[in-house]
Amino acid sequence: MSTPKAPGGYNTVNSFIITEDAPGMISFLTAVFGAHEVPEAHTLDDDGLILHSELKVGDSTVMVAARKPDWPFTPSLLQVYVDDIDATLATAQGLGATVVTTPTEFFGDRLSRLVDPWSNLWWIYQHSGEAPEWDNSGTDWGEMNTEEDTGWTPETTPELVYIHDTLLTTMKGLGR
């Protein structure tokens, strides 16, 4: 499969956050993730709300718009890699975010999750620089039916249980 062409500064998939307080979200992204707003993309609608804005976060584009009064609440679920997970979380918490998964070893990286003040859920990763070792040589994942067929069983660790459980708990209360 080929990678579709995208304009410079955009990836094949770019996130879009619809939020109650678009200016506040823009400030949050700038402070927490070092985002840079693209001024020429900043567009106000007739009602004065931000219809479209774009921010560069590392090599990615995040678009932000204000939720209209008759639009449903739609939280975003986003993943971002950072250089210093502890500093990122401290900054986010200082701006009203809630850490729902404390930094946890996850396949060689450190993973944490936070809910921002607008009820978006962020997966924050600090990459170790090493790729996990996967042994899937010769395995056709589409043919896997049961654990008995492959001899493979999932490895349950306290870290994975914690990561799983904090996600389930957070998702139940998101936006409430």
What pLDDT digit, counting tens, does each position of 59-113 carry?
Answer: 999 999 999 999 999 999 999 999 999 999 999 999 999 999 999 999 889 999 9
| Domain ranges across the chain | 11-74, 77-130+149-176
H or E element at residue 18:
strand 15-19
pLDDT at 25: 98
Equal fold, 11-74 vs 77-130+149-176: no
Q: State how far the Cα of 77 lies from the Cα of 119, in Å rounded to an integer.
A: 9
Write the CB contacts of 95 (distance below 8 Å, at least 6 apart in sequence).
Answer: 27, 28, 31, 32, 117
Other C-beta atoms lying within 10 Å of the C-beta of residue 87? 12
Q: What percent of the chain has pLDDT over 90?
A: 72
Whether this model's pTM surpasses 0.85:
no
Written as six digits, the tokens of 110 are 């450190």
Q: Mean pLDDT across the chain, nearest whole number?
A: 88
Written as six digits, the tokens of 142 are 């589409």
The stretch 151-166 carries a mean pLDDT of: 81
The stretch 5-21 carries a mean pLDDT of: 90
CATH topology of domain 11-74: 3.30.720
State yes or no: pLDDT of 144 exceeds 60. no
Q: How confident is the model at residue 136 (pLDDT cuts 50, 70, 90)?
A: low
H or E element at residue 34:
none
Other C-beta atoms lying within 10 Å of the C-beta of residue 113? 23
The stretch 46-58 carries a mean pLDDT of: 96
State yes or no: pLDDT of 26 exceeds 60. yes
Q: How confident is the model at residue 173 (pLDDT cuts 50, 70, 90)?
A: confident
CATH topology of domain 77-130+149-176: 2,3-Dihydroxybiphenyl 1,2-Dioxygenase; domain 1 (3.10.180)
